[in-house]
Amino acid sequence: MIKLRFFPFLILLICCLLSSIKIVAQNQSLKQTAFKLNLSIKGLANQPVYLGYYFADKQYIRDTTNFDAQGQAAFQLEKMPEKGMYLIVLENKRWFEIVIDSANMLSISTDTSDLPGKLQASDYQNKAFYYYLNTLSRLSKEVESLKAGNDPQKDSLIRLKEQTFMGFRDRFLSEHPGSFFGKVLQASRDPEVPEPPKASNGRPDSTWQYLYYKNHYWDYTDLSDDGLLRTPVFYSRFERFFDKVVAQIPDTLIVEIERFINKVSGNKNMFRYVVHTMATKYENTKIMGQDKVLLYLLDNYYAKNKAWWVEEADLVKIVDRIRFMKNNQIGMKAVNMVMEDSLGRVQSLYQVQAPYTIVYFWDPGCSHCQKETPKVYEVYEKYKAKGLRSYVVCTEREKEPWLKYVREKKLNWLNVIDVYPRNNFRVDYDVMTTPQLFLLDENKQIIAKKIDAETLEKILENEFSKKAKANPNAKAKRK
């Protein structure tokens, strides 16, 4: 009797538990699928398919799944993908692009016989995208056909087709103002540069068109939309602007980078991308003097806690890096050093009177220094009759190995050593490795840094040549 009385209660309890489990499972399923992409491709069966995406100049794989025997596949993502252009990558290096914007469910169908031409999409963004692509493809084929033909009027017909395309593009942009691809298309446009006004001499202003082009370069780009970062368009235009359009002068680059950062400052992802990309670019630059751009970025964004994505430990290293860079930029006056020479006499860098002075940091025990030092010395010997002088710093504090090496190799230039460390040359000249070679002018301003012997010789040849042309009657100073 006791069992019979409690049995209905147990059944009810179990049913409630099962119902709760089912509801929880359904909720978890809903949570786990924030985005779904259904694919149906005729001609494919039982093979993998990849969902890729662009970021800057690279492509990455986001997810993978498999087609079934009927050519059906689905990507189900727990997190909504960020806006951008995505890739559907098939076997045998076949692929096509789609747009992912705000829709959390997409359906794409096509046929392997013509992937873009037969593509059907469930959403507005991809319908607009493929309407444009297929129209462009048709017009391009018509132009190619004209080029291959013998029609005597083909040049004018080709121009007419090009005008037709331009008209189609403009209509597309006006008819699809909410299309993300429309933004991508706009971002690829260059500004139309008017005829230049005449300068005071009556001739066209030679710089006006360049300045107009530079100042209006980004007019068609919506820099508030970070979805453009995940397209193949933005990176190429970004690189082109800072590599080809802007003059490669550090101060000019800094002005243009700051102006661009101000334009994207309202979008944190754009801001992060620009600051990080520019810092990385100029950290690895091979153009002498452009590290000034890196110093500016580190000092004004990272050290001032504007680079919110950087960990505290990395910020400490960055602040330290600034310390090593700030005193040795091109054009700055080199920090003075006072050290003992090989005879124990005190020698000051600022007391070296010369039109040009080599400042060379080396270590007699360094294998790379042992290869480079004779080459630097050879350049010194070649130009010392013209007034070149030296201040050659041993970075170690042990005198005997240093003196022995200098005497054995007959390095008869101004050799100095900081036995009782009174100088902070490692920080002041950014001497983290050896050898390091600087060239100073007569006012001890840095005109070249971190160069090798071959570059030193080219610079000296150019500098002395300029002096000779400027002062044809001047006699070269001799030691």
Q: How far apart, in whole angstroms, are the C-alpha atoms of residue 40 and residue 110?
A: 7
HSE value, Cβ hemisphere, 13 Å, CA-based, for 211: 7
Structure tokens at 233: 């368009």
Structure confidence at residue 177 (pLDDT): 84
Please state whether the peptide bond connecting residue 196 to the residue before it is cis, i.e. omega within 30 degrees of 0.
Answer: no
Phi/psi at 28 (5° precision): -65, -40
What are the average pLDDT values for consecutive 10-residue runs of the chain, which has 479 residues?
38 42 44 89 96 95 97 96 97 95 95 96 95 92 86 85 88 89 94 90 89 97 96 96 97 98 96 97 95 97 96 94 97 98 97 98 97 98 97 96 96 97 96 97 97 97 89 57
Structure confidence at residue 148 (pLDDT): 86
Question: What is the crossing angle of helices 367-383 and 453-470, to 10°?
Answer: 20
Contact present, 257 and 242 (Cβ < 8 Å): yes
Query: Which of 271, 178, 261, 191 shows the shortest CA–CA distance to 229?
Result: 271
Give the full edge-to-edge strand order of the sheet including 105-111.
72-77, 35-42, 105-111, 120-121
Contact present, 389 and 419 (Cβ < 8 Å): no
Structure confidence at residue 448 (pLDDT): 98
Structure confidence at residue 470 (pLDDT): 80
Question: Going by CATH, does the domain composed of 37-122 fall within 2.40.50.140?
Answer: no
Single pTM value for the model: 0.85
Alpha-carbon Rg for the chain, nearest whole angstrom, is 34
CATH number of 338-470: 3.40.30.10
Domains of the chain: which residue ranges? 37-122, 134-187, 208-325, 338-470
